[in-house]
Amino acid sequence: MGDFWVFGYGSLMWRPGFAHVETQRARLFGYRRALCVTSHVHRGSVEKPGLVLGLDKGGSCVGLAFRVPGDLKQEVMAYLRERELVTNVYEERQLTVRLRSGADVAAVGYVVDREHHQYAGHLSAEEAAMRIAGAVGRSGPNEEYVINTVAHLEAMRIRDHWLERVAALIAPQRSPAGG
């Protein structure tokens, strides 16, 4: 069994949780990183739902691709499915990503199911910030999730202007990237 790739665009980038032998910056075309998943457990509640990241249609997304040894496929896929498919708001897909090296490879990725009741749709940065403000779930405050995500992206030199705008709206005292 040959090696395979996994595409991370959110917390998988800084906390993959699985063994891999190579990491490359990668771009996925046709999908964008978006706060488009309603969270009523980890970053919100039934009374005050929050938002978490999903890959939604349109644009492109820079993330990380992890090359996993083929002999670990069963173990890694079981881990990813347990982590990503808890409420079935994501669909597991084989996606073509372009590695920093220029090569196009197939990678396992998780795309939001637009028909799922947790799909929040396309939101403006202002709408997303309003939903995030004050939402708290089992894993902590929603604001913390967004600000932490942006900080990690900045540390990896990955720009996401829309997400940076949301973070600026929920934490106005925070300076923008590069500032």
Write the CATH number for 39.
3.10.490.10
pLDDT (0 to 100) of residue 177: 47
Our CA angle for 161, 4, 39, nearest 5°, is 45
Q: Is 147 domain-assigned?
A: yes
Q: Is 100 domain-assigned?
A: yes
Q: Which residues are catalytic?
A: 84
89 and 112 in contact (C-beta within 8 Å)? yes
pLDDT (0 to 100) of residue 170: 94
Domain span holding position 20: 4-170
51 and 132 in contact (C-beta within 8 Å)? yes
Whole-angstrom Cα distance, residue 52 to residue 30?
Answer: 19
Q: Is 159 domain-assigned?
A: yes
pLDDT (0 to 100) of residue 176: 46
Which residues of the chain carry a pLDDT beneath 70?
1, 172-179
Q: What is the DSSP string of 30-59?
A: EEEEEEEEEESSSS--SSS-EEEEEEEEEE
Q: Is 177 domain-assigned?
A: no
Overall domain count for the chain: 1
